[in-house]
Amino acid sequence: MIIHNQQTMTFTLHTRSTTYQMKADGYQTLLHTYYGPRIRDCDMSCLIPYADMGFSPNPHAAGNRRDYSLDFLPQEYSTCGVGDFRLPSLELELPGGSHTASLRFAGWEIRKGKYTLPGLPAFYGTAEEADTLVLTLEDAAAGVAVELYYGVFEEFDLITRAVRVINQGSGNVVLCRCASLCLDFPHANLDFVTFHGRHTLERCPERAPLRHGVQAAGSTRGASSHQQNPFVILCEPDATEDAGLCYGAMLLYSGNFEAAAERSQYESGRLVMGIHPYHFRWTLAPGEDFTAPEAALVCSPNGLGQMSRQFHRAILDHLRRDPFQHKRKPVLVNNWEATYFDFTAEKLVNIAKEASSLGVELFVMDDGWFGVRDDDNSGLGDWQVNEKKLPGGLGALVPQINRLGMSFGIWVEPEMVNEDSALYRQHPDWALRVPGREPARGRNQLVLDFSRQEVRDHIYSQLKAVLSSAPVTYVKWDMNRSLTDVWSAALPAGRQGEVYHRFVLGVYDLLERIRQDYPHILIEGCCGGGGRFDGGMLYYTPQIWCSDNTDAIDRLRIQYGTSFCYPVCAMGAHVSAVPNEQNGRVTPLETRGVVAMSGAFGYEMDLGKCTEEEREIIRGQIETYKARCNLLHYGDYYRLSDPFQPGPFTAWEQVSRDKREALVSLVTGCASTGNVFPPLRLKGLDPALQYRVNGGGLYGGDVLMNAGYLLPPMRGDYQSVQLYLQAEE
> Among 608, 714, 621, which residue's Cα sits nearest to residue 670?
714
For the beta sheet containing 18-24, the strands, ordered from the edge strand earlier in sequence to the opposite edge, are: 2-5, 10-14, 18-24, 30-37
Strands of 599-648, DSSP E? 600-604, 636-639
Measured from the Cβ of residue 154, the count of other Cβ atoms closer than 10 Å reads: 18
User: Both ends of the chain: CA-CA distance in Å?
Assistant: 37
Catalytic residues: 534, 614
Strands of 276-406, DSSP E? 282-284, 289-300, 332-334, 362-365
Determine contact, residues 479/417, Cβ cutoff 8 Å.
Answer: no
Distance CA 218, CA 231 (A): 10
Radius of gyration of the chain (CA): 27
* H or E stretch at 474: strand 472-477
DSSP 224-253: S-SSB-SEEEEE-TT--SSSB-EEEEEE--
Beta bridge partners of 533: none
Q: Which amino acid is at 323?
A: P
Q: What is the DSSP letter of 462?
A: H
Interior CA angle at 601 toward 599 and 605, to 5°?
Answer: 130
Distance CA 231, CA 562 (A): 10
Distance CA 353, CA 497 (A): 51
Q: Which amino acid is at 199?
A: H
Distance CA 538, CA 529 (A): 14
